[in-house]
Amino acid sequence: MLVGRRGAEFRASTPLVILLVGVVIILYILFLPPAQREALLSGTEAPGGIYGAGGGPVATGTGVTLMDKYVGTLLDQGPGTVEHSIPSTTVFTAVNTEEVKFIDSMLVKKGAFSSQEATLTFKADPTLGKNYLLTFNVDAAKGPLLISLNGHPIFERAITTRSPEPIKLPQEYLRTDNTLTFHAGSASWAFWTANTYELRNVLVSADVTSYQDSSSEQHFTITPDEYQKMDKAILEMVPQCDPKKAGRLSVNVNGQPLFAGFIDCGVLTRQDVAKTLLNAGDNRLGFTSNQGSYTIDRIKVSSVLKQSDYPVLYFNLPPDMFEQANVFAGRVVVTIRFADGNTAKQGAIVVNGYKDTFQTSDYYYQATLDPNILIPNANSIQLIPVNGALNVPELRVELLG
């Protein structure tokens, strides 16, 4: 009896349970966003992203225009930097021992009744030459030999070898035009004799610095569009050198000095380059060393582009329209009209911070906004170009009933 009574009660409550489940399902469907409700009822898949629908023919019908704006041309910002790789280069100053003045032979003597001296003139450039030396061979020698430079005595003694050590010419006595004077010393008490020197291969030499390969110039090109967007540039390089021999390295851009000083060998160096030093078109990057050798590796000039600010527009969705879009059958539709058709256009629409991309080759692109991303009253919308510019004569937002 107990079992039979419970079975009868269950059979009596079954229609009520079915009715309650049906009411819950109907209420659930009514409160779904329009796009999802339509997709559920029609059996199609609801589109993703921030849009309830996108692309296709332009929607028509009566509605309320929430915003209708001219946008104009939006330029694709592209990458944040444009890099220009430049081949490695080497600059060095060579120091070579060079002949300054040479005389094949000379004779000097000093006696009681006669004397003979010899002179050698030469030019010197202290900025290019250092370590000036006098060398010669001796065929005959008697008594002391006296040598003076521009009137300053620099040597006075007897020579007993055929190839004496080089005589250093003091840097402080050197001028642009110089004179070496050779004398034989007096014969002292043996006045009837004469002191004589016969010299051969008389040579003045110096260590001369050659700057022939001390400078190098490289070129790179900046396009007009890149120059227009540029904020500044950054030069990167790695100078390879011997720290014990390296001197000052100077860097210039289009002939204007950028950097000059001692630099760390083997270390990546970065230097900002002002836009005013650069040109739209060909640009010259120069390196100069005043001492030692530099191999400049991994040279790169990166143009840092300005950040573009795309306009943010606003449309008003009053509370009653917001309710219509969320509860009833209203749809908030965005329509983009382009200036050209039959060309691929890519971009993104950002509504209240929610972003989704689009791609079309038509004159129009239309999307239905998901009601969940809308808010009562002021809503923001922004267009951002991708992979090329967008020319938008009209951006319209409507509430379609």
- In the prediction, which pLDDT does 380 show? 96
Number of domains in the chain: 3
Q: Are residues 322 and 376 in the same domain?
A: yes
- pLDDT at site 6: 40
Note whether residue 13 is domain-resident: no
Q: What is the pTM of this model?
A: 0.51
Same domain, 152 and 89: no
Residue 278 is predicted with a pLDDT of 96
pLDDT on residue 126: 74
Residue 41, domain member (yes or no): no
Whether 198 is covered by a domain: the verdict is yes
Could you report how far apart the first and last alpha carbons of the chain are, in Å?
60
State whether 336 and 235 are in the same domain: no
Same domain, 158 and 143: yes
Q: What is the pLDDT along the chain (401 residues), one digit of tens a residue?
A: 323 344 444 455 566 656 665 655 665 555 554 444 544 454 443 333 455 444 444 555 568 999 999 998 887 766 678 899 999 999 988 778 889 999 999 999 987 777 899 999 999 987 778 889 999 999 999 889 999 999 999 999 999 999 999 999 999 999 999 999 999 987 665 556 788 999 999 999 998 877 777 899 999 999 998 898 889 999 999 999 998 888 889 999 999 999 899 989 999 999 999 999 999 999 999 999 888 889 999 999 999 988 777 889 999 999 988 888 876 557 899 999 999 888 899 999 999 999 999 999 999 999 999 988 999 999 999 999 988 889 999 999 999 87
- Which is nearest to 275 in space by CA: 258, 296, 298? 258
Of the three residues 181, 210, 239, the one that is the final residue of a domain is 210
On whether residue 18 sits in a domain, the answer given is no
On whether both 243 and 369 belong to a single domain, the answer is no
Q: How far apart are CA 302 and CA 68, in angstroms?
A: 41
Largest CA distance in the chain: 170
Last residue in a domain, options 210, 242, 266: 210
In a shared domain, residues 206 and 220: no
What CA–CA distance (Å, rounded) separates 102 from 202?
6
200 and 98 inside one domain = yes
Which pLDDT belongs to residue 400? 87
Boundaries of domain holding 223: 81-93+211-305
Residue 358: CATH number of its domain: 2.60.120
CATH number at residue 134: 2.60.120.1200
pLDDT on residue 187: 66
pLDDT score for 22: 61
185 and 223 belong to one structural domain: no
Answer whether residue 252 is part of any domain. yes
Domain co-membership, 98 together with 188: yes
Assigned domain for 285 exists? yes
- Residue bearing tokens 């929430």: 66
**Domain with 221 in it: what CATH number?**
2.60.120.260
Q: How far apart are CA 38 and CA 371, in angstroms?
A: 14
Same-domain pairing of 254 and 201: no
Positive or negative CA dihedral for 313, 319, 320, 324?
positive
C-alpha distance from residue 276 to each of 209, 272, 280, 300, 336 (Å)? 35, 12, 11, 18, 39
Whether 228 is in a domain gets the answer yes
Could you say which DSSP state residue 370 is in? P
Q: 3-class SS at 105?
A: strand
Domain check: are 205 and 116 in the same one?
A: yes
- Residue 293 in domain: yes
If asked whether residues 240 and 336 sit together in one domain, one would say no
